[in-house]
């Protein structure tokens, strides 16, 4: 398999790079000075693309690689892959579901606690020496708060299970109601937003869910509402969110993703009711290794003509 | 009598509750926070008299005392109050009250019951996720603009599947266990005695508990027995992949040793709400990204303070109407509390 060319879209994990190099001819796309001439000269040797949440395989890249057989994403999200084009050309697509579900759900709860209980700000308070002058402010209890989940897939369900242990009543919005689920369903995001204290985005990013958190939803959340986004930056109309937070029309936010990573609106930096993380939802040593093993496993299976481990297309 | 005179007369009939020092609630909400039409407060801290003199002057009027963590109720104080029948504390901890002396004198003690357990447990989980997933550290990183200039932040560690060891499986420890089970953690504990109806693994001492867990959570009371319970030996057993979370009392951990372990990387990290000499915190910790700290604020939510207000007033009103206390502390079965302050 050493002659099979694999194009890695961007840096994502050095263990994965190592493992890919052992088995294939690895091309690191981000090190190439002229991407279009590279593609022109290597189009016949690249049979696989490895992408992630930041970069995948759009129509242009797919068209430039006539020998492309498989796109293996180092993520569960598929928004950076032109799935329709892959289907059209018979290109297989795999992702990394399940192995990262727990980490992402854990982080969602961690963000809720950090925002409501002002954990990051309390830590800052202690480090600044201000505790000697007086106690920190009162915060808001997390136990018992109403949690509204947009998207009740693997990650949404894992968030619900954790929040239930804190006696949080759970409600959700999904494309269709799930009758076997005991949580309260709302047929629109605005209604869900109006009936919960903490709203968490846990659905895939598609054309339909782009800016699913807009001005109307933010208004429905109100000045005590807290938004948690562990989905994708473009789920949220970011300028609307920023002005709502700056103007205190929204109670707080815990954000792991942004519209234009790694750029984060600086107006958010000084807000004590906002926690900002650098897209670390699956960012643990254990999970990134499991994700890498899944990418390798899928590629090996494909080129050995065995069934794919986690196919999407 | 005129209405005013009448109310003044009934005011002076109201029983007195002594307050030695203002509790945190007064600083946050003003000193009418625990007011009731059924009793009145005698604030020792507002008097120019030295405390023993003040107590001597009012000894015959004081039947109840409202205490908080920063105002110890020592045997000496209790001896100056011959009519004292009740001590109500605003704190979860009881280590600042000489419970033996209360027991000897037949003085009832009313505690916080379980009103703070949820917030304490939430703080534990919040601190644990923060330490493992580097929430505060990476929030700092982003807010300094370093994500765009310096790239990705180092990976954290998975919480799911970790072994959690709880020191002290009381109300707070039980709430912690319930929450962490939902994250896929396995729970074990050490307590003064094994609890037969509990599904978690019991370890007879803290060293063994630490050796068999990845996250050690301190949830027990501070007593003479638990002072420096988390020793060099325990921290060594916890090991370099272990984290420790303390929302109980600072002196339960040998702080010098903890700081040394953290600075040398001998344990993975720590989440600390309490310290041996609050509000002083060892400055070595400020340089560490694997330590998350909070200013003894595990119960500092609006909701907990609302609940506290109802509870304190409720206990005092029950006492003065000869009704059962809402949250009496059983004085028979307790380990030795010498009543010294944190």
Please check the confidence at residue B324 and state whether its pLDDT lies above 80: yes
Please check the confidence at residue B327 and state whether its pLDDT lies above 70: yes
Which residues from chain B sit within 8 angstroms of residue A281, using beta carbons? Answer: none
Q: What share of chain A is helix, strand, coil (3-state, %, to 5)?
A: 40, 20, 45
Per-residue confidence (pLDDT) for residue B342, from 0 to 100: 42
Per-residue confidence (pLDDT) for residue B37, from 0 to 100: 96
A279 belongs to the catalytic site? yes
Per-residue confidence (pLDDT) for residue B338, from 0 to 100: 54
B278 belongs to the catalytic site? yes
Which residues from chain A sit within 8 angstroms of residue B286, using beta carbons? Answer: 127
Would you call A283 and B153 a contact, using CB atoms and an 8 Å cutoff?
A: yes
Please check the confidence at residue B158 and state whether its pLDDT lies above 60: yes
Angle between helices A101-116 and B135-143 (to 10 degrees): 70
Instruction: Find the mean pLDDT for residues B24-43.
Output: 94
Residues of A (264-293) whose Cβ lies below 8 Å from B: 264, 266, 268-270, 275-278, 280, 283-288
Single out the catalytic residue among A92, A121, A162, A232.
A232
CA distance linking residue A242 with residue A236, whole number of Å: 10
Give the model confidence (pLDDT) of B93-120 as tens digits. Answer: 999 999 999 999 999 999 999 999 999 9
CA distance linking residue B337 with residue B264, whole number of Å: 34
H or E element that contains A254: strand A252-255
**pLDDT tens-place values along chain A, 313 residues long:** 779 999 999 999 999 999 999 999 999 999 999 999 999 999 999 999 999 999 999 999 999 999 999 999 999 999 999 999 999 999 999 999 999 999 999 999 999 999 999 999 999 999 999 999 888 889 999 999 999 999 999 999 999 999 999 999 999 999 999 999 999 999 999 999 999 999 999 999 999 999 999 999 999 999 999 999 999 999 999 999 999 999 999 999 999 999 999 999 999 999 999 999 999 999 999 999 999 999 999 999 999 999 999 999 8
Q: Residue B336's pLDDT band (boundaries 50, 70, 90)? A: low
User: What is the greatest pairwise CA distance in chain A?
Assistant: 68
Closest chain B residue to A113, measured at CA = B126
Would you call A114 and B279 a contact, using CB atoms and an 8 Å cutoff?
A: no
Least confident of A140-149, A222-231, B20-29, B161-170: B20-29
Residues of A (126-155) whose Cβ lies below 8 Å from B: 126-127, 131-132, 134-144
Tokens of B169: 């499986």
Least confident of A28-32, B68-72, B155-159, B206-210: B68-72
A276: nearest CB among B119, B134, B143? B143
Please check the confidence at residue B6 and state whether its pLDDT lies above 70: no
Q: Which residue, among A238, A273, A232, has the nearest Cα to A254 in the 3D structure?
A: A273
Strand locations in chain B, DSSP E?
16-19, 40-43, 62-67, 86-89, 108-110, 163-167, 186-190, 201-202, 215-218, 243-246, 269-272, 291-293
Mean residue pLDDT of chain B comes to 94
Give the model confidence (pLDDT) of B180-214 as tens digits. Answer: 999 999 999 999 999 999 999 999 999 999 999 99
Please check the confidence at residue B341 and state whether its pLDDT lies above 70: no
Per-residue confidence (pLDDT) for residue B9, from 0 to 100: 46
Q: Which residue, among B40, B36, B33, has the nearest Cα to B68 in the 3D structure?
A: B33
* Residues forming a β-bridge with B86: B64, B108
A154 belongs to the catalytic site? no
CA distance linking residue B220 with residue B204, whole number of Å: 15
Q: Give the sign of the dihedral formed by CA B240, CA B147, CA A253, CA A189.
A: negative
Which residues from chain A sit within 8 angstroms of residue B178, using beta carbons? Answer: 165
Would you call A141 and B304 a contact, using CB atoms and an 8 Å cutoff?
A: yes
**Exposure of A167 by Cβ count < 10 A (0-12 exposed, 13-18 middle, 19+ buried)?**
middle
Give the model confidence (pLDDT) of B258-313 as tens digits. Answer: 999 999 999 999 999 999 999 999 999 999 999 999 999 999 999 999 999 999 99
Per the CB < 8 A criterion, the answer to whether A260 and A234 are in contact is: no
Please check whether residue B158 touches A, CB under 8 A: yes
- ipTM given for this complex: 0.96
Closest chain B residue to A275, measured at CA = B139
3-state secondary structure of A222: coil
CA distance linking residue A266 with residue A178, whole number of Å: 39
Tokens of B328: 């009496």
Please check whether residue A90 touches B, CB under 8 A: no
Chain B nearest-CA distance from A44, in A, is: 33
Give the model confidence (pLDDT) of B52-65 as tens digits. Answer: 999 999 999 999 99
């Amino acid at each position: 398999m050493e002659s099979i060319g694999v194009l890695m879209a961007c840096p994502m994990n050095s263990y994965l790079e190592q493992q890919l190099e052992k088995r294939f001819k690895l091309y690191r796309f981000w090190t190439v000075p002229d991407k279009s001439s590279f593609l022109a000269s290597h189009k016949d040797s690249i049979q696989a693309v490895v992408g992630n949440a930041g970069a995948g395989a759009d129509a242009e890249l797919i068209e430039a690689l006539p020998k492309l057989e498989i796109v293996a994403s180092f993520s569960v999200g598929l928004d950076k892959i032109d799935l329709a084009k892959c289907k059209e050309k018979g290109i297989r697509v795999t992702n990394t579901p399940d192995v990262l579900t727990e980490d992402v759900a854990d982080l969602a709860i961690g963000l809720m606690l950090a925002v409501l209980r002002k954990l990051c700000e309390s830590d800052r308070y202690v480090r600044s020496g201000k505790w000697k002058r007086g106690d920190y402010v009162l915060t808001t209890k997390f136990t018992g708060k109403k949690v509204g989940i947009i998207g009740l897939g693997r990650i949404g369900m894992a968030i619900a299970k954790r929040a239930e242990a804190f006696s949080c009543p759970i409600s959700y919005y999904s494309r269709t109601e799930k009758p076997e689920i005991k949580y309260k369903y709302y047929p629109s995001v605005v209604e869900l937003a109006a009936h919960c204290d903490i709203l968490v985005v846990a659905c895939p990013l598609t054309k339909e869910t782009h800016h699913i958190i807009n001005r109307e939803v933010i208004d429905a959340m109100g000045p005590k509402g807290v938004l948690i986004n562990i989905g994708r930056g473009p789920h949220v109309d970011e300028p609307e969110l920023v002005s709502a937070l700056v103007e205190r029309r929204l109670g707080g936010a815990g954000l792991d993703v942004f519209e234009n990573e790694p750029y984060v609106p600086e107006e958010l930096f000084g807000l004590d009711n906002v926690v900002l993380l650098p897209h670390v939802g699956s960012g643990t040593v254990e999970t990134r290794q499991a994700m890498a093993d899944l990418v390798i496993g899928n590629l090996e299976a494909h080129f050995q003509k065995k069934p794919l481990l986690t196919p999407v297309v | 009598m005129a209405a005013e005179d009448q109310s003044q007369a009934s005011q002076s009939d109201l029983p007195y509750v002594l307050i030695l020092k203002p509790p945190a609630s007064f600083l946050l909400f003003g000193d009418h926070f625990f007011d009731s039409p059924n009793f009145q407060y005698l604030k020792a801290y507002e008097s120019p008299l030295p405390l023993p003199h003040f107590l001597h002057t009012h000894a015959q009027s004081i039947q109840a005392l409202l205490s908080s963590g920063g105002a110890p109720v020592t045997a000496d104080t209790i001896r100056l109050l011959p009519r004292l029948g009740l001590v109500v504390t605003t704190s979860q901890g009881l280590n600042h009250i000489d419970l033996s002396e209360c027991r000897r004198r037949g003085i009832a003690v009313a505690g916080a019951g379980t009103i703070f357990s949820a917030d304490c447990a939430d703080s534990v989980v919040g601190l644990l996720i923060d330490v493992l997933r580097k929430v505060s550290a990476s929030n700092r990183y982003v807010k300094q603009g370093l994500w765009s200039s310096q790239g990705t932040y180092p990976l954290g560690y998975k919480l799911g599947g970790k072994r959690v060891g709880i020191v002290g499986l009381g109300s707070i420890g039980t709430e912690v266990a319930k929450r962490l089970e939902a994250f896929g953690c396995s729970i074990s504990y050490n307590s003064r005695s094994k609890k037969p109806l509990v599904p978690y693994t019991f370890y007879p001492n803290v060293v063994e508990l630490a050796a068999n867990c990845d996250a050690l959570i301190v949830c027990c009371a501070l007593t003479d027995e638990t002072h420096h319970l988390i020793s060099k030996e325990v921290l060594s057993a916890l090991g370099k992949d272990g984290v420790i979370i303390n929302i109980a009392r600072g002196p339960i951990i040998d702080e010098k040793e903890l700081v040394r372990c953290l600075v040398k990387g001998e344990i993975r990290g720590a989440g600390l709400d309490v310290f041996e000499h609050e509000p002083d915190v060892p400055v070595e910790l400020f340089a560490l990204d694997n330590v998350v700290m909070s200013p003894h604020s595990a119960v500092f939510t609006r909701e907990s303070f609302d609940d506290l207000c109802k509870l304190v007033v409720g206990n005092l009103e029950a006492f003065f109407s000869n009704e059962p206390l809402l949250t009496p502390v059983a004085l028979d079965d307790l380990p030795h509390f010498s009543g010294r302050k944190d």
